[in-house]
Amino acid sequence: MPKLKTKKAAQKRFKKRANSFKREHAAHSHLLTGKTRKRKRQLSKLGTVSKGDIKRIERLIPY
């Protein structure tokens, strides 16, 4: 059986944690003047991948 390949696009977007994956929030790169301070601050923090998507992400990042 050949080795599994990691999807590099997924590897750049998600970081593996003990039992979940961390991810960046969308909408924090441009058009920031129309967003409130609170919204920008919350978008800058890392989010977690939802439980329904964890199995899909694990297939993309096997190692």
Q: How many residues does the chain have?
A: 63
pLDDT tens, position by position, 3-54: 999 999 999 999 999 989 999 999 999 999 999 999 999 999 999 999 999 9
- Model pTM score: 0.77
Taking only Cα atoms into account, the Rg of the chain, rounded to an integer number of angstroms, comes to 15
| Structure tokens given for 16 | 């593996």
Domains of the chain: 8-26+34-60 (4.10.410.60)
- Residue 1: the pLDDT is 84
DSSP state of 29: S
- Residue 63: the pLDDT is 86
Burial tier of 21 (Cβ tally within 10 Å: 0-12, 13-18, 19+)? buried
